[in-house]
Structure 1
Amino acid sequence: MTSLRREPLAEQAAEALLARIRGGEWALGQKLPGETTLAPQLGVGRSTIREAIRQLAGRGVLASRQGSGVFVIALEPPEDWGDVLRRADIASVIEARVAVEVEASALAAERRTPAEMRAITRAAEQRRVRRSSIEEHVDADIAFHRSVVTAAHNPVLTELFDSFTPLSRQAMIAMLRLHSDYGSDDDQRVHDRIVDAIADRDTESAARLAREHLLTLKSGLL
């Protein structure tokens, strides 16, 4: 049974159904099971399933046919202009992060204190374990990157980072919802390598890894 929590249940149920469609559980043109079957599978009520189906119908994935049931009409939601614009906004935020965090990572490798190194390591571990929701994971990710920026001992970089944190948080949550995936082991390993570079006082590697990570995020939007 899929466990749903934190985000609105109908939205989570819609994403769970979409994941099963993407996974091939129901083929294009196939009829979905009824509400009485889907509801206990997802651990929600029938009204939540109805709302989830309405959401996916609105996204062009499902279609309700009166007297026949609900059918899969697309394996992926068609991209609309709203998604295109969100991607552009997210890309702008990532570019701003590159401007701040690449230099901050290099400076942190040069200037971090033992106490700051311990704080960076703790933040990386929190990022590893906090994956139960997109919001929680994004907050842990921001805390990690702020610990690096703080260790750069440059108050202007810290102020810049803090000034666009609310916008960055919103953009990162939107990006992860577009991808329907977050907190992978590969992603965590990239952050662990940044930690190692800072611990080794390897300024070039710290900057390079931070840049590569952020540019990979940006390219994933294209």
Structure 2
Amino acid sequence: MRPLQKTNLADSAADRIRTALADGLWRIGEKLPNEQGLSDQLQVSRGTIREAVRVLVAQGLLETRQGSGTYVVTDRVVPQPLDLARRTSLRDRLEARLALEVEGARLAAQRARPAAIRQLHALLDQRGHSAAEPDRAAFIARDLAFHRAVIAAGENAAMLELYDFFTRSITDTIEATTGGLLPEPDLAAHRAIVEAIATGDPDAADRTVRAFMRPVLAALTESRPGSD
């Protein structure tokens, strides 16, 4: 397998592994090389390989066995609804993200432990104020880590699995709001979500997340043909 270009690395890695499976590089039941081996072949980080493998496991192509490794389950993948979601419009994906994050924040307001609240504040401190920095990809990763932690604070494993599977689509929306295409919610808007969750009031958390997303959705509405 040839090295990857440094764009959408996890997706590209997943696509390359998927193609290798279809080409018979690894047969059904065969164990894949470990993270370091795949990392060396594709010349990407082990974290990128880990994310790519997670996508392929979710698609049913691979199976991770605790303490043993990752094995091929099948060499064919049937497009899943969440795969097809990535082909939809940015507005559709932002609305889907809003639905997921609203319910995630509501659950977090009801269930978040003090340690989870402290972690959210710490992640915001790490995130920083703006994407105007040399490594925008690193900023996006920190931003995504915060939003995922909000979902995790709700202590609903299915919601977190859904969020992880939907990560690429959510990352697309974050890239749009940090690349100057759409309004970027500032640090205060992010902090307001944590403060609303900390009150323990799910309705307050609901309102805050909707307020967070409203300018972005409004900008998309204004840019649609015939929206005047």
Q: What TM-score, normalized to structure 2? A: 0.53
Residue 142 of structure 2 corresponds to which residue in structure 1? 140
After superposition, where does 1:56-205 map in structure 2 within 5 Å?
89-129=89-129, 131=131, 132=133, 133-179=135-181, 182=184, 187-205=186-204
- Mapped partners of 1:129, 1:214: distance in 2: 17
8 Å contact kept, 1:90–1:172: no
Alignment-mate amino acid for residue 165 of structure 1:
T
CA pair 176-89 structure 1, distance change in 2 beyond 3 A: farther
Distance change (3 Å), C-alpha of 1:125 and 1:95: same
**Counterpart Cα distance in 2 of 1:130 and 1:91:** 22
Larger Rg: 1
Amino acid in structure 2 at the alignment position of 1:117: I
AA partner of residue 169 (structure 1): T
C-alpha spacing 1:136/1:121, structure 2 compared with 1 (3 Å): same
SS at match of 1:169: helix
The one-letter code sitting in structure 1 at the alignment partner of 2:188 is R
- Aligned residues of 2:129 and 2:187 also touching (Cα < 8 A): no
> Once the two structures are superposed, what CA deviation does each residue of 1:36-91 show, in whole Å capped at 9, x if it has no partner?
xxxxxxxxxxxxxxxxxxxxxxxxxxxxxxxxxxxxxxxxxxxxxxxxxx9x7221
How far the C-alpha of 1:214 sits from its partner, in A, is 1.7
Q: Percent identity?
A: 32
Instruction: Write out the 4+ residue segments of structure 1 that deviate beyond 3 Å after TM superposition.
Output: none
What are the Cα deviations for residues 165-218 of structure 1, in whole angstroms up to 9, with x where unaligned?
Answer: 112213331443352875xxx621111111111112122111111112123212
Q: Which runs of 5+ in 1 are unaligned?
A: 1-5, 8-85
RCO comparison, higher one (Cα < 8 Å, 6+) = 1
3-state DSSP of counterpart to 1:153: coil
State how far apart, in whole Å, the 1-side matches of 2:125 and 2:102 are: 21
Quick one: structure 1 residues 161 and 180, their matched pair in 2 at CA, closer, same or farther if it must change by over 3 Å? closer
C-alpha separation in 1, matches of 2:196 and 2:208:
9
RMSD value, Cα = 2.6
Alignment-derived partner of residue 214 in structure 1? 213
Q: As a proportion of its length, which structure holds more helix?
A: 1
Helix, strand or coil at the partner of 1:220: helix
Point out where structure 2 has 5 or more consecutive residues left out of the alignment.
1-5, 8-85, 224-228
Other-structure match for 2:35:
none
Cα–Cα, structure 1 residues 151 and 139, in superposed 2: closer, same or farther, change >3 Å?
A: same
Distance of 2:114 and 2:177 partners within structure 1: 34
Count of paired positions: 135
Distance, in Å, in 2 between the alignment partners of 1:98 and 1:127 is 20
Task: Name the SS of the counterpart of 1:102 in structure 2.
Answer: helix
Q: Normalising by the residue count of structure 1, what TM-score does the alignment of the two structures yield?
A: 0.54
Q: 1:219 to 1:199 in 2, by over 3 A?
A: same
CA contact (8 A) 2:196 2:204 kept: yes
